[in-house]
A and B are shown apart, each in its own frame.
Chain A
Amino acid sequence: MRRVAPVIIAFLSGFVMVISFCFSPDKTVLGRIEPKLLSWVTIVGGFTLLLGVVSITRVNWQGVRRKKEGWGYKLLTLVSVYIMAIPAMLPSSWSPLFGDAEGSIYDWLFTYIDSPMMGTMFAMLAFYIASAAYRAFRARNPEATLLLTAAVLVMLWRIPMGEAFLRLFGENVPGFINTYLMGGVNAAVQRGIVIGAALGAASMSLRIMLGIERTYMGKG
């Protein structure tokens, strides 16, 4: 039953959503089921967030208690989770420090700690990309040369100085890059990827509905 019930629920949920798509929500019962099921997705999703907090607490707390390698980081993770979550959940009517409005603990932590840290992590990519470009971007074969040329052209096109440089070869050169490289070759390839991914998603959904794909239950 533990294996059959989730498959039945997955099949019914998927089937009803597919069928109700074809019916008007104003005129038919089937059509009205879709928004109701979607509300349930939000409600169930809220509980999965709670499950995530319980899981992160359990896993990290065990690591801290047993003083596993890197237990200090695990402790920091736990402190961070609760120091952000608890003041944000308390009603702001108790104190202006609670809730998530401007001036609250959550807002302060987000603005002055979380936001700069995330920005720093992302900004560091520029250094790694520059170093990696120098070491790895080599014109070893015709394909790599083509990629390298396209990359250099796009990089030049995306900056005002580069665009001015490209205009030295012809007023329409940046326009050609936009039309033929980005709107032509690039768009064609991206379209192929998007269609391929959509077909893959459709077949995966079908596999889940028919119970062929069961990895979401934690088993193959």
Chain B
Amino acid sequence: MNIWDRLARLDRRWIYLLVALAVIFPLIVPTTFKIHITPEARQLYDAVEALPDSSVVMLTFDYYPSTLAETEPMSIAALHHLFRKDCRVVTVTTIPLGGPSIAERVTRAVAAEHGKVYGVDYVNLGFKYGYVAVLKGMGSSIEAIYPTDNSSVPLSELPMMRSIRNYGDISFIYIVSDNAIVDYWISIVNAEYATPIGIGVTAVSAPKYYAFISSGQVTGLLGGMKGAAEYERLVSKEAMAFKGMAMQSLVHLLIIALVIAGNIGFFAGRRAKKRTAA
């Protein structure tokens, strides 16, 4: 067996070991990189920055715990930005498993840093079944869809919600999602009610939404951990995503190296076979 055959038949456990090392190494030797801001992330930041102070912004937690590494830093950075601008934040989720808990935990933690008060500066509406009905219904009346908040407190008892009836009272919708629910926010809420929408999605979903950026239906896009790191840098709160870029960098480079090595093995092996046949 020559070297090319060996390369082609490399035991996958070696690859797993290399990936594990690429993830662990930056944890042992912390490294930081310069993050360049993409125009899409800048657009989202500028859109929030342009909102008048004390505007109402709806922030969604449309993600499962499996993608927390990519999405949670976006939510945290967004909340820092919104609370710094004294925006009033309404959080909702279309994900039953974890969505309300994540929203509660993350929002309370960031709000405490900025001295914000529940019910006055922010409200967590939680989850309600049937996302299409929920998204459409909130266009007529938020209270009809969510009579109570996530802790079963009637909306009428929350001072902030007394002046927020429907999308007409919401200046911007900031969606953080790991699934196709973003399509419905765009096609129902943006298309019907013309509420501006900015999105933060996982890296795997991001390419899909470039089409909505160019059509003007989406104002700004954060894609994956890199997008989250960009926003962290924009709001000067470098945290989880910023640190995660070292690991992501090494794993990406490793995969590229593996693809190149695999192709070298493939072509060299094919040439060797041709020579043998001749």
Contact = CB atoms under 8 A, between A and B. Distances in A.
A131 B68 CA distance: 24
Contact of B214 (A101, A126, A158, A183): A183
B262 A138 contact: yes
A42 B134 contact: yes
Nearest to B33: A160
B119 interface: no
Nearest to A35: B140
A110 B98 contact: yes
B267 to A, nearest CB: 8
A49 B97 CA distance: 13
A148 B259 contact: yes
B92 to A, nearest CB: 14
A190 B252 contact: no
Interface in A144-174: 148, 151-152, 155-156, 158-164, 174
Interface string B19-54: 110010000000001111011100000000000000
Contacts of A151: 259
B256 interface: yes
Contacts of B153: none
A41 interface: yes
Contact of B259 (A107, A111, A133, A182): A133
A94 interface: no
Given A100-B100, A133-B258, A152-B259, A160 B214 contact: no
Given A134-B10, A178-B38, A190 B207 contact: yes
A158 B226 contact: yes
B138 to A, nearest CB: 10
A191 interface: yes
Contact of B248 (A129, A159, A186): A159
Contacts of B266: 138-139
Contacts of B133: 38-39, 41-42, 45
Interface in A100-126: 100-102, 107, 110-111, 114-115, 118-119, 121-123, 126
Nearest to B23: A126
Contacts of B39: 178
B254 interface: yes
Contacts of A163: 36
Given A39-B145, A123-B69, A182-B207, 19 more contacts: A35-B144, A41-B132, A42-B133, A100-B101, A101-B151, A110-B97, A115-B68, A130-B255, A134-B262, A138-B266, A152-B256, A155-B255, A155-B256, A156-B256, A158-B203, A158-B226, A160-B36, A162-B253, A183-B213
A-B pairs, 4 with minimum CB distance: A160-B33, A115-B65, A41-B133, A118-B66
Interface of A: 25, 34-35, 38-39, 41-42, 45-46, 49, 100-102, 107, 110-111, 114-115, 118-119, 121-123, 126-127, 129-131, 133-135, 137-139, 148, 151-152, 155-156, 158-164, 174, 178, 182-183, 186-188, 190-191, 193-194
20 contacts: A35-B136, A35-B137, A35-B140, A35-B141, A38-B137, A42-B145, A45-B133, A130-B18, A134-B259, A137-B262, A138-B262, A159-B249, A161-B33, A162-B249, A162-B252, A162-B253, A164-B33, A174-B36, A188-B211, A190-B207
